[in-house]
Amino acid sequence: MEKLIITCALKGAETTRDSNPNVPYTPEELAVAAEEACVEGASIIHLHVCQDDGTPTMDPAIYEKAHDLIKKRTDAIVQFSTGGAVGMSLEERAAPLDLKPEMATLTTGTVNFGREVFYNPAQYMETLARKMAELDIKPEIEVFDAGMIKNALFLVKRGLLEMPLHFDFVMGVPGGIGGSAAELNFLAGMIPEGTTWSVAGIGRHETTLGTMAIAMGGHVRVGFEDNIYYHRGVLAESNAQLVARMARISREIGREVATPEEAREILKMK
């Protein structure tokens, strides 16, 4: 079995210190958190940024500062989010791509997101896919429900995405696919041979789905964007603590953890 890629999502647009005081905000704090996560085994850093007060933003200047500080401290793959926060325009969401990160997310469909709607019509998908191709950015296909896999494969047929794709199954968001073992097996069975996948279990699903992915040969995403707890009712102390648990579980069953350079090879980024 190939080595495990661990992605660490340091914070999300909706994740604030009101829910966990350990959430990093500033570029400097994000860089420190990224370094700590990489020491524990993360090879991809999934990046959202915010204003100093925690307000989500897609400001390219803040992305650039965070990216540069992370690269000074680590050799991780820095993956920009193009999801932003619910309600942001396509122009806002696409703006940081001009910085040419190695990797960025591409959500291939619209989904209810709790009481909100995460809007991703065909125009958004196509525009972001074209821009990533033009700038040689590796897309990660964010899948909140099964139809998004089909949408991504349709973009391949249209020449807007290239194989092999890498999928991230985001499971347990209210309004999207659930977090059961059957649903993970279903998604993993839908993707073409030769593609890779990871799972981001939301909240209480993070550890169980991550453990399943390790055993199935998939990859794992953890971090404060998806889950702020270490155990039920016990806040996680850091993103690194969540990464360390997945790395420990993987090594316990004999699956080694990939370095950033090995992750690039697995994802065909070299």
Return the domain boundaries, the chain: 6-266
Longest dimension (CA), the chain: 47
Query: What one-letter code names the amino acid at 218?
Result: G
Model pLDDT, residue 36: 98
Residues belonging to the chain? 270
**CATH 3.30.1130.10 fits domain 6-266:** no
| Closest-CA residue to 191 (of 139, 226, 151) | 151
Q: Residue 57: what pLDDT? A: 97
Who's near 53: CB < 8 A, 6+ residues apart? 25
CA-CA distance, 263 to 257, in Å (whole number)? 9
Pairing, β 49-50 against β 56-57: antiparallel
Q: Write down the pLDDT at residue 1.
A: 85
- Is the Cβ–Cβ distance between 58 and 66 less than 8 Å? no
In this prediction, residue 115 carries a pLDDT of 87
Give 125's contacts (C-beta < 8 A, 6+ positions apart): 106, 107, 108, 109, 151, 155
CA–CA distance, 256 with 249 (Å, rounded to integer) = 10
Q: Tell me the pLDDT tens digit for each residue of 199-223.
A: 999 999 999 999 999 999 999 999 9
Do 77 and 264 form a contact (C-beta atoms < 8 A)?
Answer: yes
Residue 91: is it exposed, middle or buried by C-beta count within 10 angstroms (0-12/13-18/19+)? exposed
Identify the segments of the chain with pLDDT beneath 70.
Answer: none
The predicted structure's pLDDT at residue 184:
98
* Residue recorded with tokens 């050799």: 75
